[in-house]
Amino acid sequence: MNIQSVHVAILDLPTIRPHQLAMHTITEQAVVVARVRDEEGREGWSEIATIGGASYGESTPEAIKANIDTYLTPHVIGQDPIRFGKIMHDISVHVRGNLHAKALVESAIVDLAARQRNIPAYELFGGKIHDGLPVAWTLASGDTGKDIEEAKEFLRQKRHNIFKLKIGKGDPMKNVGHVLEIQKAVADQARLTVDVNQAWDEDTANQCIPILQDGGISMIEQPLPGWNHEGMARLADRYRVPILADEGATSIQEIFHIAKHRAGNSIALKVGKTGGLTAVKQAAGIAEAAGLGLYGGTMIESDLGTAMTVQLYSTMPPMKFGTELFGPLLFKDSITTNRVEFRDFNVIVPDGPGFGVDVDHEKVEHYSREKGVLA
């Protein structure tokens, strides 16, 4: 029943269209997958994504793999998966930082522990509260008419009724006008949010936020650089529209600091940036105790990483701002044999053993940078 091997691979997954952020445009997404195998041949799998190599955060796919192979794996081999809390505690004593790498390792161990018991992984975190979670879609064509048409089509399909627009790149006031035109077109059926991805300074934020607020935009994500907690606190105090901290809310210690100083009045949760499934639940507890709203963020994961995250979020109280776990819908292909479901404006919580999806080994091999690494 103990862990016999750990293998990590970097996959490059093509997207159906460009996905534009302030610092990077995704046309092919690098994800890192891990497989842990026990002495009887059972497997646990996990996935963590980064955006644009080093353009978004401190972790890169290459560093995640190298650090797991060299520094984390020795603390995992021979351990009982159900003691994932102890395993991760031991790793934290010997390995500082490396939150994405720790998240990938812990999640694979959790998947294996649940599969050994033939139960969904959410049972290891208190059991699910929700069968589905509200899920947003990012409108990203840059053409106002096309974005309105796409939003209306997804509303008709009952796929999404929350829409996000990335407005950190280009002329801020032009972007604001683009958002408000879409808001006018769908406001009676949908909720719109915007994500600045740290691209504004405080002066620009004070020019744009009042217009967005008066236009009915429901939330503004990370308008200032992640380090600028004081500026975020001023914005959260000045405006009634919620200001969400994402890039500035990584470790549980940072989230405590944001809660204490009100450097935002809502928090975006992400498994990778926080350091794992257990750490995300801790972060959610801090935010909930401080009265901050929760948002289930994404790093554009495929079906595997999305199922992993959806299962965890299903064990938490309702998220005030829903989730953006649309990742599987953005990829041309899947690395799992069964897919995460989207219906009735929700992403559905998988109920199978582990994270509820089964990995397609041939697809992993096909998209892996290094062939034969998972043999």
Which are the catalytic amino acids? 166
287 touches 301 (CB < 8 A): no
220 touches 204 (CB < 8 A): no
Residues facing residue 46 across a β-bridge: 34
CA 118 – CA 317 distance, rounded (Å):
25
Q: Which DSSP state fits 83?
A: G
352's tokens: 């199978």
Q: Which residue matches tokens 């991760």?
A: 88
DSSP string, 314-333: TTSSPPTT-B---HHHHBSS
CA dihedral 149, 152, 154, 157 (to 10 degrees): -130
Please name the residues in contact with 215: beta carbons below 8 A apart, sequence gap of 6 or more: 179, 180, 183
Could you tell me which of 40, 42, 98 has the C-alpha nearest to residue 73? 98
79's tokens: 């351990």
319's tokens: 């998220």
Could you tell me which of 248, 196, 246 has the C-alpha nearest to residue 217? 196
Which phi and psi angles does 27 have, rounded to 5°? Answer: -120, -20
Could you tell me which of 244, 52, 54, 231 has the C-alpha nearest to residue 136? 244
Q: Which residue matches tokens 């091997």?
A: 5
Full strand arrangement of the beta sheet holding 342-343: 132-134, 346-348, 342-343
Could you tell me which of 1, 2, 72 has the C-alpha nearest to residue 34? 72
Orientation angle between helical segments 277-289 and 99-116, nearest 10 degrees: 110
| Cα–Cα distance list, 18 to 25, 27, 149, 260 (Å) | 6, 5, 18, 38
